[in-house]
Amino acid sequence: MTIHREGYKSIAIATLIFGAINVPVYFFLSASVMWLCHIVFIVTLALLLFLISFFRIPNRLLTIKDGAVVAPADGKVVVIEETTDLEYFNDKRLQVSIFMSPANVHVNRNPIDGEVVYNQYHKGKYLVAWHPKSSTENERHSVVIQNGDTRILVKQIAGALAKRIINYLQVGQKVKQTEEMGFIKFGSRVDMLLPVGTKVHVELNQAVQGGVTIIATL
């Protein structure tokens, strides 16, 4: 396991805060209320370890397969339905959405090989990520990757806790399946808009792993 580069600053600041809290607590209170010092230490250490785990990148055997759409994120499948896309395609698409809890790995990965033909950031609200309108009203970053005649739109969507969406892609860039496309801090959701008729291999409420689980085949 490694730590994602997006976490270096956050972890450094959290470590300083951990020390700034515990050093004076032990210095002033250890002689009289050692039990309180232990509680403060355990609670702050647990929070620091949770933060570190949030930025983890586990060692995985990633799935590279032509014709497959690989999960762009860890989490739980919360939507599989046809929808009308008004942002890019202006027609019906098959939407598959993955909810990312704060405990999930938060690296986002390219679901297919291809070329980035659309990349757009949208300001918006911070509705809870499972809200039906979060796909169109929340802060989000949309990317369309084209491979041959196939185009897939991937939306990184902010939630009630997620306040920072990071996207590494640019229009015209050639991307590889499972390589990093971005990162969302502190829990959110990723939508994929696939061609209608795409064969889906996952079910609602199924847990998936980013870069590993095959969501669909084209």
Taking residue 13's Cβ as centre, other Cβ atoms within 10 Å add up to 11
What are the CB-based long-range contacts (under 8 Å, 24+) for 125-130? 126/158, 126/159, 126/160, 126/162, 126/163, 127/159, 127/160, 128/159, 128/160, 129/99, 129/100, 129/157, 129/158, 129/159, 129/160, 129/162, 129/187, 129/188, 129/189, 130/78, 130/99, 130/189
Catalogue the active-site residues. Answer: 188
68-217 classified as CATH 3.40.50.720 = no
- pTM for this predicted structure: 0.86
The whole-number pLDDT of residue 36 equals 92
User: Position 148: which residue type?
Assistant: G
The whole-number pLDDT of residue 127 equals 62
d(CA 83, CA 81) in angstroms, rounded, equals: 6
Stretches where the chain sits below pLDDT 50 are none
The whole-number pLDDT of residue 41 equals 96
The whole-number pLDDT of residue 165 equals 87
CA-derived radius of gyration, the chain: 20
Angle value at C-alpha 64, between 62 and 65, nearest 5 degrees:
140
